[in-house]
């Protein structure tokens, strides 16, 4: 049984180190591109099974986004959907046979070490950290795009000591988002892979099946949590001071009309 916290380097390309998790990220991206091309090239008014599955996913994310942020949340759906699909596919690909089990041996400091060719992309902290940075950068980008320079009053507000202190907390909160996003996703996926590796090494037949089912569910939930938290934070970043979030949602309008 081989368990490594860090991704293992496979080869160097023009001075750039390619790790097994980075290779898995490339495979995930290529698969998503192929799926997008296939769907866009065969769109029909009467969808087949494949198109129906894709449309169901799109409608689910759009409805979920609108329930959180109203109609204007549709502007953020492409980013949120990209996060969801990439993380979901990365999580599930890491469960396939061959990930973590097919590789080669190399001698390091006099010891033979097994290096797997593929490792789940989201089981590498580098990947989840990159996703977290993109998410937090997108939050700042949409906030500035909507509120212009007024967005920075969220962090630098000298109107009174309380607002200044709240601005400092907001700045710390945005930095903490990077840590929270990256370690939550990495911790859940890496822990799941370790659990599967231990169970498979002890009882390789039948016993791991319930845990595979659990990890499929966890992979879905983690993709959904990451993408929805990104949506919520973007929604909050684009709200002007004093504006009620999500007031354009149908349910929110009914609550306001009935005074609830």
Specify the pLDDT at position 186: 94
CB 94 within 8 A of CB 122: yes
Least confident piece of the model among 6-10, 108-112, 179-183, 194-198: 108-112
For Cα atoms 103, 213, 68, give the angle at the middle one, nearest 5 degrees: 110
* pLDDT at site 153: 84
Q: Which residues contact 244 (CB under 8 A, 6 or more apart)?
A: 252
Helices (H) and strands (E) in the chain, counts: 7, 4
Break the chain down into helix, strand, coil percent, rounded to 5.
70, 10, 25
Q: How far apart are CA 76 and CA 14, in angstroms?
A: 36
How many percent of the chain have pLDDT more than 70?
90
The pLDDT value recorded for residue 237 is 87
pTM (2 d.p.): 0.85
Q: What is the pLDDT of residue 126?
A: 92
On the question of pLDDT at 259 being above 60, the answer is no
Give the tens place of pLDDT for each residue, 11-54. Answer: 888 888 888 899 999 999 999 999 888 888 877 777 778 788 88
């Amino acid at each position: 049984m081989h368990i490594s916290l860090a991704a293992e380097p496979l080869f160097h390309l023009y001075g750039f180190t390619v790790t097994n998790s980075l290779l898995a990220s490339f495979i995930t991206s290529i698969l998503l591109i192929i799926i997008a091309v296939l769907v866009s090239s065969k769109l029909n008014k009467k969808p087949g099974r494949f198109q129906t599955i894709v449309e169901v996913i799109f409608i689910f994310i759009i409805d979920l986004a609108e329930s959180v942020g109203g109609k204007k949340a549709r502007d953020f759906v492409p980013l949120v959907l990209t996060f969801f699909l990439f993380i979901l596919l990365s999580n599930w690909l890491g469960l396939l046979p061959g990930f973590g089990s097919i590789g080669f041996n190399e001698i390091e400091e006099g010891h033979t070490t097994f290096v797997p060719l593929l490792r789940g992309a989201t089981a590498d902290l580098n990947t989840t950290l990159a996703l977290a940075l993109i998410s937090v950068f997108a939050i700042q980008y949409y906030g500035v795009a909507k509120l212009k320079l007024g967005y920075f009053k969220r962090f630098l507000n000298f109107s009174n000591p309380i607002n200044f202190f709240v601005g400092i907390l907001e700045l710390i909160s945005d930095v903490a988002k990077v840590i929270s996003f990256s370690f939550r996703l990495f911790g859940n996926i890496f822990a799941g892979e370790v659990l599967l590796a231990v169970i498979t090494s002890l009882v390789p037949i039948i016993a791991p099946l319930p845990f595979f089912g659990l990890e499929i569910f966890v992979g879905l939930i983690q993709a959904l949590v990451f993408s929805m938290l990104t949506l919520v934070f973007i929604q909050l970043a684009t709200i002007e001071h004093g504006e009620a979030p999500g007031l354009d949602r149908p349910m929110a309008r009914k609550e306001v009309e009935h005074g609830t």
